Each structure stands twice: as C-alpha cells, then as structure tokens.
A and B are shown apart, each in its own frame.
Chain A
Amino acid sequence: DAEITQSPRHKITETGRQVTLACHQTWNHNNMFWYRQDLGHGLRLIHYSYGVQDTNKGEVSDGYSVSRSNTEDLPLTLESAASSQTSVYFCASSPGHPEQYFGPGTRLTVT
C-alpha cells in the first residue's frame, strides 16, 4: 500500500547541531509539506514543495530548509538546532487537491 513515512520517529540533539528529518511518500504526489505542532498553535507550515526542484517558505521557515530532488522525498534540515525548535514535526503530501495525507510525525528535542 502507498504510504508516507518519517524518520527518525524520535530524535534528541544538542543546540547548534545540524539535524535532518526525512519524509518519504510512495503515492507519487507532487505536493509535499512540512509542519510543526506546538501546544496552543495547532500545526504551522514550515516549507512546502509543488514538485521536483520547487521549494517555498511557509509561515515559520526561519532556521529550516528543504530540498526536493525527486518526487518521493522532502527532507527537512535544521541548520543549527535551537531549543525553540523542540517540537513534533509532521510531513504531509497531496496529489494537487486540498486534502493532505499526514505522516506519523517526528518528535524532536533540542537540549
């Protein structure tokens, strides 16, 4: 069955380190998204991509970057992790209509 996966599911890192969170989908969806989930804020959009080589900033993109070299993957990189980036990160994909399909999430702790 087609699916969307994220790895790792849990990560603890130190302030200042570079961290990459993986997102992989097998639906062949063009659109992929990264969100962070924080108490009291719901999910907020970090970056998104509408296809290979396309990336766009979302609402809370500072300190994050993405690259899209193929249809299946949209890795999220924290250039220099900060404690404020402790959060749960969700990847999502969509075939082009508004409905999005979410991955299981990655819980990131920055100490």
Chain B
Amino acid sequence: AQSVSQHNHHVILSEAASLELGCNYSYGGTVNLFWYVQYPGQHLQLLLKYFSGDPLVKGIKGFEAEFIKSKFSFNLRKPSVQWSDTAEYFCAVVPSNTGKLIFGQGTTLQVKP
C-alpha cells in the first residue's frame, strides 16, 4: 500500500537551531507533495507544495523543502527556528494513480526559547 513516513516523531530544538524533518513516500510514479503545519489548537495550514519544476521549493515563514525523486523524499528545512514554529508538521503526498492525499504520521516540533 502507498504510504508516507516521517522519521522524526518528536523534535526538540532551541531557538536559532536549524531544522530538518524527514519525509519519504512509497510510490514510484508522479506525485504532488505537501507540507502542512498545525499550530496548537488550530487547523492545518499549507506550508509549501511541489507539483513540478524546481525541486527546491520555498514556502511561508522561511521554510523550504527539497524533492529528491531518486530517494522518494521531500524533507522540510528551516535554517533558524523560532519559538513560534512550535507545532505539528505533516508531510502529505498525492500519487497520480489515486489523486488522494496520503498523510504521514506527523512530527511534533517543540522550540525552546
């Protein structure tokens, strides 16, 4: 079955530290890729998306992600995190054969001031 794996379930960082959250998916065809963020008590918001073109995608709030097709990966990065980045982060994939969004398990990021 198609799946999305997020390797880090809970990450704790200090402010100004760099962030990288891993995401891998299991589908060999064309995909659309997303990172969503859920701040405490709020709904999911889109951070960034990849449909085609430049595999390095820039999103809101200084986040970026790189699509590496050969590794089936779409890792999320931010060079310097802030306390306000404390949230849960979800990687999601839409395989071209189903058109349906498949979510990873989520990563809880806690940033200490």
Contacts and interface: CB of A to CB of B under 8 A. Distances in A.
A98 B45 CA distance: 14
Nearest to A48: B100
B104 A42 contact: yes
Contacts of B34: 98-99
Nearest to B49: A99
A98 B99 contact: yes
B8 interface: no
A102 B43 contact: yes
Nearest to B51: A98
Contacts of A100: 101
B101 A98 contact: yes
Interface string B26-42: 00000010101000001
Nearest to A58: B100
Contact of B103 (A42, A101, A104): A42
Nearest to B99: A98
Interface in B18-67: 32, 34, 36, 42-46, 49, 51
Interface string A52-86: 00000010000000000000000000000000000
A43 interface: yes
A98 B106 contact: no
A43 B103 contact: yes
A3 to B, nearest CB: 11
Given A43-B103, A48-B100, A98-B49, 19 more contacts: A33-B101, A40-B105, A41-B105, A42-B104, A42-B105, A42-B106, A43-B90, A43-B92, A45-B100, A90-B43, A98-B34, A98-B94, A98-B99, A98-B101, A99-B34, A99-B46, A102-B36, A104-B42, A105-B43
Interface of B: 4, 6, 9, 32, 34, 36, 42-46, 49, 51, 90, 92, 94, 99-101, 103-106
7 contacts: A41-B105, A43-B90, A43-B103, A90-B43, A98-B34, A100-B101, A102-B45
